[in-house]
Amino acid sequence: MASYIARRKFLATLGGAAAWPLAARAQQPATPVIEFLNSTSPKRYTSGLGAFHQGLGEVGYVEGRNLTIEYRWAEEQYDRLRTFAADCYGIASGA
């Protein structure tokens, strides 16, 4: 009987130790996400993207390291911007 109780205590301790890294990760702050909406295409906005990334880097943000950027390009179809913006906020676009 004593070995059964000791084994249960051991397993409970082991389970708690295994779950601890998961709890520690859950408490870390979420990575910021920028929703980047643009009416043109990435090819036409190359210099603008370079300046955008440079500015982010100057304040300590690097895409893929401590920042996520979700790009949405309307490709000159301006009505798509409304849908993109609605998606960012999780609402119906009402188009």
Regarding pTM above 0.75, the answer is: no
- Tens of pLDDT, residue by residue over 18-55, are 555 555 556 667 899 999 999 999 999 888 999 999 99
For 60-69, the CB contacts below 8 A with 24+ separation are 61/32, 66/31, 66/32, 67/31, 67/32, 67/33, 67/34, 68/31, 68/32, 68/33, 68/34, 69/33, 69/34, 69/36
Q: Is 71 helix (H, G, I), strand (E, B) or coil?
A: strand
